[in-house]
């Protein structure tokens, strides 16, 4: 049986560890995109409900910015409600074909309206209309009823551009912790943990045992 492609592990040496962690993340993400394409964008996002129950789901990373990682969602969804109550979240990327994982923790903030508007304008029209129709995470009567609502909304916006609904926008995870994990022989994985105390402070870095 042909084994899946995996390059030899390229560990982060002490000199490379001094680079800003978001620059290292962008480099790792670019390598994953080159190898597997769009699935590299899959990001597990963990939030906490008001009663303290953890929850996790896959979202899609849409942009890497200086301040963090951007994804888009319905603010009335379960994750949106969780993040209104508690802005702290955790995320994880796993790229098995590279033997790599990145874990992040930090605070989540809404992106600026004009940023969200520009992104929304670039979405396929069907997805734009769907953002108006789907009350994400809520109980619906049936699939047929959902599709009928979509048809009605499509008619409503037939003669004009679809505006971004106010409940749909982008969120930016601004990390205060980033861990890079590289698969190693005999399970001696390479792990680097970056920490920062606040937006205006630099990053510290420690190497962790596997």
pLDDT (tens digit, 9 = 90+) per residue, 82-101?
999 999 999 999 999 999 99
Find where tokens 């597997």 sit: 36
User: pLDDT tier at 149 (50, 70, 90 boundaries)?
Assistant: confident
At residue 148, φ and ψ (nearest 5 deg) are -65, -40
Handedness of CA 80, 82, 84, 88 (dihedral sign): negative
129 or 138, which is more confident? Answer: 129
| 2-38 confidence digits (pLDDT tens) | 455 455 455 677 777 788 899 999 999 999 999 999 9
| 40-73 confidence digits (pLDDT tens) | 999 999 999 999 999 999 999 999 998 899 999 9
SS3 192: strand
The model carries a pTM of: 0.86
Query: Dmax over Cα atoms in the chain, in whole Å?
Result: 62
Sorted by where each starts, the structural domains of the chain and their CATH numbers stand as 16-121+170-208 (2.30.110.10)
Find where tokens 């592990």 sit: 9
Residue 25: count of CB within 10 angstroms of its CB: 20
Catalytic residues: 187
* C-alpha dist (Å) from residue 30 to 25, 89, 136, 168, 197: 8, 23, 30, 27, 27
């Amino acid at each position: 049986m042909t084994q899946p492609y995996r390059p030899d592990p390229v560990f982060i040496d002490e000199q490379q560890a001094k680079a800003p962690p978001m620059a290292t993340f962008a480099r790792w993400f670019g390598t994953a995109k080159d190898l597997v394409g769009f699935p590299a964008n899959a990001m597990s996002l963990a939030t906490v409900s008001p009663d303290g129950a953890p929850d996790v789901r896959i979202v899609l990373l849409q942009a890497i910015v200086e301040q963090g990682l951007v994804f888009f969602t319905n603010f009335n969804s379960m994750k949106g409600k969780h993040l209104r109550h508690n802005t702290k979240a955790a995320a994880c990327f796993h790229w098995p074909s590279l033997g790599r994982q990145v874990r992040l923790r930090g605070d989540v903030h809404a992106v600026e309206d004009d940023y969200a508007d520009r992104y929304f304008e670039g979405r396929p029209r069907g997805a734009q209309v769907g953002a108006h129709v789907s009350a994400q995470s809520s109980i619906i009567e049936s699939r047929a009823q959902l599709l009928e609502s979509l048809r009605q909304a499509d008619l409503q916006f037939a003669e004009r551009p679809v505006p971004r609904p106010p409940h749909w926008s982008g969120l930016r995870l601004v990390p205060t912790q980033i861990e890079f994990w590289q698969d190693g022989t005999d399970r001696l994985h390479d792990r680097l943990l970056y920490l920062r105390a606040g937006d205006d402070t630099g990053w510290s870095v420690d190497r962790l045992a596997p």
